[in-house]
Structure 1
């Protein structure tokens, strides 16, 4: 049977991680959270930026010890057994099949808002982005890694230019009153920001394809944390400092920010940023998810049909082909019923928070060093607190989790450590 190729370097791993985490949230969430919590939204962003450090470190430790394409499902399986591992595999079915088209719609919607496109044209552009991501992922992880690295370099340069162009419009008086709506919206903002900070776990799904996972995974995640935290905090600080979140209609916060410094040219720059960020997010989401389903089917938790790799590119092509179905359903719902992006974001975000809780519980059991367990405890505590604020979206991980638990495997598979 064909196996996954070990070709990823730490630079390509960093590119894939940054592309996955630095997602479509930067286009809208600095504005949305500032509207919810006022300048106190900075507390939510700082909390998540600080949380990114122990989160990435914990996933790095788990990924180097269990370099398996199953990612969180493999960690939970090693810690709590096959039934729990299968439950996580089922939980993941509520993430990328919805999150990837939602991300595509955010980027395409940005372009559509700037160019005054119809809803149908926006959906078509989102479909084109998704098809491109599927095709590039089909061609192999090395090609995917190089593509993601190039995209990240472009995104970083454009975001730095955007922030620099608006710095002169920052006024410290815009940071007061600091908490005009109280502190409850800060908690809601933290829950919402999981959309902007999930993705650290995706490197775990690619662990089998690293040349030297023990050394390269920590390097990839370390660089990714520094780049993402600096870019996110720069954008949100300038957004609040210029009060661009309070300029008319919501939904195009970055466009307003860029327009402060670059005027009409800012619209084109923002469109390029939006498409690059959107594609980078989808690219890594799809890469990680396809490996997860492949790993789960290889173990027998999902149909064995998905355990076959392409003879030439050694990629899980059947999983990639299957993703066309949920992508089409989500895009169709948007085209026909105008389902809101807030709804599309809320449900997979709730599942991601539940997955992070399970990952940290596994880390507490599998990792023995006090610093490792303390990091997992911090991330688990904040994730639990954030879950309180997800509302009705908590039903999705509950239903998927119970379904996965009911479909218990009849065999035990010993975990592999390295």
Structure 2
């Protein structure tokens, strides 16, 4: 019998999952939601956190039953078929280079703002974040998980300290009028905040790395849900309660909160926190996506040479190299003014929402029907479909990736089908 080479424990697994779910949106979304709905934006946070529970629980249940680096694509393969699974895999694999560039750019902007370096400095810091994430994953998941655990703990501490330091300055007057824009504004805030909750599919690709996925994944999921609930709601309440109407006018609410609490020294603290968060996000997404690419190559849904290093405990460096090359090209295009951060984030979220919806559709087929979890998944599916409807022309991106996937499957050499 071969020894078990799977390496993720509860702590490092929680750190990787939390890093994937938290994402860089926590640095800006509290103010964007406040601009859309005022104090009532807190209701949008609560609703989406509640809707996040069945999504996380469903992916944990599926990961426990079908542990594999293919993640959501594996679930779709079992529920719908190999061609649909290939499309889902391409959606996620194509979204990750865009997402990690977005994350790195946000970290660069926070650091550059604190240091007064301007756009060139932001680009340099963003490049360093991207390079560090690629190197961490190339060394191996054990180091990646340990680094993520350290960074995740430091980030959670900074965010929690920010909330606690700001709490004494919360003013009840800032919560009235509570719903100035009516219920429609809460829906608008919820559509913005969805970008902070697209990360469970990234964590699903790591299910095969746990020694006992059926036992470990639910525990990791519960801990991750607890972490993001405390941090998201804490930041949302603090942003509205401390900054008041000014919350809608700042692009860096974390810096604004810390400045109100401890003064000008807060800027470098916020910059360091942003650096940790963006590195953690890029690190987690690259870890999951590199294994997805290897799984797609193994199953014939992508070039076979991507499969090398995809076994549990190994490092899929070829798949990681493809992701890194694509990210570098996108980063160069962004740095030359070919695109902007808002567009990159929305493009990423559109692809990830499509992946999430496909994963929920698979859960409706594979999980026991007419249970509380099944009905929760059904409600989350309706919410995700509504978010996708607001994506507009950005839906062309997952459509193009779907066409590319189908063309590859049609044109691949005979005898190289999925196993």
1:349-377 per-position Cα deviation (integer Å, ceiling 9, x unaligned): 01111111111110010112523322221
**Residue in 1 that maps onto 2:394:** 393
Hey, what's the Cα distance between the residues in 2 that align with 1:311 and 1:367? 27
Q: Per-residue deviation at 1:112?
A: 1.0
Partner of 1:233: 233
Correspondence 1:384 to 2:385: yes
Q: Which residue of 1 aligns with 2:16?
A: 16
Distance 1:285 1:4, change over 3 A: farther
SS at match of 1:327: helix
CA contact (8 A) 1:31 1:245 kept: no
C-alpha deviation, 1:249, in angstroms: 5.2
8 Å CA contact 2:111, 2:125 repeated in 1: no
Q: Superposed, which structure 2 residues align to 1:5-404 within 5 Å?
A: 5-243=5-243, 246=246, 250-309=250-309, 314-337=314-337, 339-369=339-369, 370-404=371-405
Partner deviation per Cα, 1:209-259 (whole Å, 9 max, x = no partner): 111111111111110001111111000111011125616953211100111
Q: Cα distance, 1:4 vs. partner?
A: 9.9
Structure-2 separation of matches of 1:144 and 1:21: 17
Q: Report the CA distance between 1:142 and its aligned residue.
A: 1.8
**How far did residue 312 of structure 1 move?**
13
The one-character-per-residue Cα deviations of 1:275-300 (angstroms, maximum 9, x if unpaired) are 11111111101101101111000111
Cα distance in structure 2, aligned partners of 1:80 and 1:248: 43
- 1:413 to partner: Cα distance: 5.3
Q: 8 Å contact 1:9–1:210 — kept in the other structure?
A: yes
Whole-Å separation in 1 of the counterparts to 2:303 and 2:409: 14
The 3-state SS of whatever aligns with 1:211 is coil
Change in CA separation of 1:96 and 1:402 when aligned onto 2, cut-off 3 Å = same
Change (3 A) 1:178 1:244: closer
Give, in whole Å, the separation in 2 of the partners of 1:396 and 1:181.
32
User: The residue matched to 2:336 in structure 1 has which SS?
Assistant: helix
Task: Tell me if the contact between 2:31 and 2:247 (Cα under 8 Å) persists in the aligned partners.
Answer: no
Mark the runs of 5 or more structure 2 residues left unpaired by the alignment: none
Aligned residues: 413
Distance in structure 2 (CA, Å) of the matches to 1:233 and 1:407: 44
- The TM-score, its normalising length taken from structure 1, stands at 0.93
> Shift in Å at residue 186 of structure 1?
3.0
Deviations 1:7-50 (A, max 9, x none): 11122111110111112111111011111221221122111111
Question: Cα distance 1:114–1:292, how it changes in 2: closer, same or farther (>3 A)?
Answer: same
The alpha-carbon deviation at position 160 of structure 1 amounts to: 1.1
- TM-score with structure 2 setting the length: 0.93
Give the RMSD, CA atoms, in angstroms: 2.3
Contact 1:90 1:404 in 2 (8 A): yes
Gaps of 5+ in 1: none
CA offsets, 1:267-325, max 9 Å, x none?
12111111111111111011011011110001111011111129997200111122222
